[in-house]
Chains A and B, each alone.
Chain A
Amino acid sequence: MNDDITELRNLLEAHDPARHVRADTPGLSATLQEIVGGSRPVSSASERRRRSKRRWVMAAPLTALVVGGAFAVPMVLAPGQDGPVQVGASLAPAVFGEGDYIDVTIKDPAVDPQRYRTEFAVHGLDVAIRMSPASPSLVGKLVSVLPQGRAKEAAKMAGFTYEKVEEGVYRIVELTPEEMKERREGKRSNGRVGRLNDDNPECGNHWCVSTIRVPLDLKVPLELHFGRAPKPDERYTFIGDVSASGEILEGEPVEPPNPHDPRTYAYLRVGELKEIIQRRGATVDFYDTNPIDRPGPNPGNGDWAYVDHPRKPEDVPDSWYVHVVFGGDTPGTVGVAVGPWRPNARWVEMQEKGRS
């Protein structure tokens, strides 16, 4: 066996396309601070459940770099205009308790993002807005905040986090160099950093923001990533909670069971889900087997490798259990993780062992 590995290494070593790739050190700091500052504390069972479904949309920002192109410009903003501006977007300079700020609410997701950038620039802000095709519950919603530029430029920034103001409204908070230093050194793990408490109920179990408040004295270059309706034949970049408002299975009881409370287990069967799906005029884009919850000594490798276990529809009995229902990447479609065992079987098994 070692001969095989040694020969393979020898055969391929010279052809490694990444052998000269090095992580950019300043960029590393920016990425680290973004991760540590941008994630939410794990605080509750519902939070854990939300994250289990967010796994699929976590990939959404990955395509941010290749999204772009022309947007319709149905109207023109009025840069520098005094007072609230409600043309396409709401960019309303205002005075708030801690100073001046701009509330950004996307009223018309079809407006050219460059228009927003111009409006921000008028106020001395380097803020870009990016719009990507999203499923209905995420159209017009902020789904991601990133520093602009991932390499040297990003490293120069002071850092930021965001805090909840009220339901659906968050504000950007710039961190001082001292705070950033503390974060890098591990001396600051909480405080103002990365506080995202309750999700916006409009988006079901997917995190989103309706209004983002940007302070006018912000020095950090930001990119705000919003969802927009897809064009014909365009696939979603952002996929929301399949049972959230406006989604194909809106209001249907397909929420995965709460792993911390077995009494809430719905144990939805595939046959029951099919009835729901047919009634709503949806189609199943793909089936995957959930390898993680498999009971017994040999659970699946990895953490959430559904995509490693695709399953043909004819190989999915109606009696199997529904583990997770995902939104598909085109309108009217869903993906379903299934298994012959009950959802969270491993967790229950471990709990029962712990009690005995």
Chain B
Amino acid sequence: MVVRDEAGFTSLFEEHYESVLRYAWRRVGPADAPDIAAETFRIAWEKFDRVPADRPLPWLYITAKNLVLNLVRKDERRNGIATWLGPDLGNGVEADHAGAVAARIAAVAALNDLGERDRELVLLVSWEGLDLREAAAVAGCSRPTAAMRLHRARRRLRRLLGDQPEATVATRRPSYKETAV
């Protein structure tokens, strides 16, 4: 039987829960984010000996990412970044004025117009605050690939946000799924 370090896990939880909650919030919205975060840490508790002690956040994000993908797979209405965002774009969390709302709609639309992998990398280095190495690890690609994608995404976002401020949220790109055998 493995005796797990409950005190160590408690520290991990207290230090990083909010980051994971925000990660999930940005991707699935307020209704499901607490569950994603809680489930992430439940898995971390079960596998605590495999969570890197020095840099646990990428590991936690990878786990949260997979939970998000499972949720997306189960509920085809949700995919991409923040398609749960309604007209208020904040669900009562904050009181945005009309201009800010419009700007965020444009930003979300531009993000959704990126490819799924590019978008994830952009979010990891921007809102999640990871450096290139960590973001590449979470995204499952090499650093040069991540750098290339980010460079491409920056150019595309700059163009989209400059040319199409009133763009609407892009149509969901379904992931591959097919009946066979």
Contacts and interface: CB of A to CB of B under 8 A. Distances in A.
B103 interface: yes
6 A-B pairs closest in CB distance: A186-B7, A313-B180, A59-B70, A15-B107, A18-B22, A18-B25
Give the interface residue-count category, chain A.
35 or more
A117 B82 CA distance: 35
Interface string A291-310: 10000000011111101101
Interface size on B, as a range, is 35 or more
At the interface, is chain B mostly helix, strand, loop or mixed? helix
Nearest to A305: B66
A70 interface: no
Given A5-B132, A59-B74, A274-B181, A22 B31 contact: no
B173 interface: no
A65 interface: yes
Contacts of B178: 286, 312-313
B52 to A, nearest CB: 11
A59 B38 CA distance: 11
Given A17-B85, A184-B10, A310 B126 contact: no
A312 B2 CA distance: 39
Contact of A64 (B35, B75, B85, B151): B35
Interface in A18-45: 18-23, 27-28, 31-32, 34-36, 38-43
A230 interface: no
Nearest to B70: A59
Contacts of A86: none
Given A16-B26, A18-B26, A36-B45, 4 more contacts: A9-B126, A64-B35, A189-B4, A308-B69
Given A15-B108, A32-B10, A36-B9, A7 B158 contact: yes
A282 B179 CA distance: 10
Nearest to B76: A235
Interface in A39-66: 39-43, 51, 55-56, 58-59, 61-66
A19 B90 CA distance: 10
Interface string B36-53: 111101110111001000
B112 interface: no
A9 B135 CA distance: 14
A118 interface: no
A174 interface: no
Contacts of B32: 62-63, 65-66
A185 interface: yes
Nearest to B122: A8
Interface string B149-181: 011011001100100000000000001111111
B127 A23 contact: no
Contact of A4 (B47, B66, B154): B154
B54 interface: no
Contact of B66 (A7, A14, A307): A307
Contact of A42 (B2, B21, B41, B126): B2
B45 to A, nearest CB: 5
A13 B33 CA distance: 20
A277 interface: yes
B148 to A, nearest CB: 10
A283 B1 contact: no
A163 interface: no
30 contacts: A1-B150, A5-B125, A11-B107, A11-B161, A12-B107, A18-B22, A20-B94, A21-B21, A28-B17, A36-B6, A39-B45, A59-B39, A65-B31, A66-B31, A150-B34, A150-B38, A186-B10, A188-B6, A189-B4, A237-B74, A282-B181, A285-B179, A291-B140, A302-B66, A305-B66, A308-B69, A312-B176, A312-B178, A313-B180, A333-B179
B119 to A, nearest CB: 11
Contact of A329 (B22, B25, B74, B94): B74
Contacts of B6: 36, 183, 186, 188-189
Contacts of A15: 103-104, 107-108
